Amino acid sequence: MAETYLSGIQPSGLLHLGNYFGAIRQHIALQDQPGEHFYFIADFHALTSLRDPERLREYVREVAVTYLALGLDPERSVLWRQSEVPEVLELAWLLGTVTGMGLLERAHSYKDKIAKGLKPNVGLFTYPVLMAADILAFDSTRVPVGKDQVQHLEMTQDMATSFNHAYGQEVFRRPEPLLAEAEAMQKVPGLDGQKMSKSYGNTIWIFEEGGKLKKTINRIVTDSRPPEEPKDPDGLFLFDLMALFLPEAEVAEWKERVRRGGEGAPGYGRLKGVIREAMEAYFAPARERRRQLLADPAEVDRVLAAGAERARERALRTLERARRACGLR
């Protein structure tokens, strides 16, 4: 049986290099694999923390434009707004009736958000149930995730098993995680060396360019050592950013020059310039495609509408199976 791939991304602002190298790039590459490919913009999930309707609409469009500009092909993948497929909400309720409180109370993401001071609400607590419905609605077999998301997929597996056992039939298929390749699993450092995250305010927008990109790159934290002083390149996260865009051999050459030091050794400003130039070149085709999409919003609307239609048709088949199993049909 052909594989069915599914993933979602929250519309929470401008997408950054961590989003791209940690998830989006893998999603785009998976289109070359045989099977079905489903990618949704998780606007229902965003409501647990976002209370600005205009910003939500703006962020949804930004995610859609970003994926399309970076290479998502609507002919090979289904892209839609989560809220345009309400069948997942009914599935979430059905799953919730067989899900134990203890399972949700053990969710790492919920405990982490509360520890960071986010006010708890029912939506945040039941977030894993809606996520399970997102996955199971499309008979997903492979779900691209990072290590920090594996628990949510395991919870989805538990809910599917509980439902199937409760009603004595195989209503839901068991999804399996698809862990990103080793290089994608590495943390993309932010401007301060921590993991790149909107929460830390240390991000670099994928499509930043020109003077704004130069200003952002110049904010990368470095020390005050002069260029001629020999340095251990493995202690400079500048090279982790450089490695995202340049061939391994070229990065190794820059590292060796820093390690040797002396006259002609590159300073931090030069290394930041290399990163900026490489990033500009790397995303140049996608930036042009993004400009075209922004100039033709009707095309983006068409893609999302067509995707929602295909997604609803698929989710409804799964929902009908679940309804019959429960006795609602």
Rounded to an integer, the average pLDDT of 173-184 is: 76
Residue 181 scores a pLDDT above 80: no
What confidence tens digit (pLDDT) does each residue in 217-228 have? 999 999 999 999
Candidate list 116, 119, 187, 195, residue with the active-site label:
195
- For the entire predicted model, the pTM comes to 0.93
Catalytic status, residue 198: yes
pLDDT at 180: 67
Name the 3-class secondary structure at 195: strand
215 annotated active-site: no
- Please state the φ and ψ torsions of residue 80, each to the nearest 5 degrees: -155, 165
pLDDT in tens, 39-63: 999 999 999 889 999 999 999 999 9
- List, in order of start, the domains of the chain with CATH numbers: 4-187+296-326 (3.40.50.620), 198-290 (1.10.240.10)
What is the band of 1 on the pLDDT scale with cuts at 50, 70, 90?
low
Q: Which amino acid is at 276?
A: R
Strand partners, 36: 4
> Which member of 187, 198, 214, 231 is catalytic?
198
Q: Is 147 assigned a catalytic role?
A: no
Average pLDDT over residues 74-89: 98
Q: Which two tokens stand for residue 73?
A: 């092909």
- Using pLDDT thresholds of 50, 70 and 90, give the confidence band for residue 182: very low
- Burial per residue of 51-78, b for 16 or more beta-carbon CB atoms within 10 angstroms, e otherwise: eeeeebeebbbbbbbbbbbbbbebeebb
The contacts of residue 17 (CB under 8 Å, 6+ apart) are 188, 196, 203, 204, 206, 241, 244
Q: What pLDDT score was predicted for residue 8? A: 95
pLDDT, one tens digit per residue, over 205-258 is 999 999 999 999 999 999 999 999 999 999 999 999 999 999 999 999 999 999
pLDDT digit string (tens) for 143-165?
998 777 889 999 999 999 999 99
Catalytic residue among 113, 187, 214, 231: 113
Distance spanning both ends of the chain, measured CA to CA: 28
Q: Cβ neighbours of residue 200 under 8 Å, at least 6 residues apart?
A: 190, 192, 194
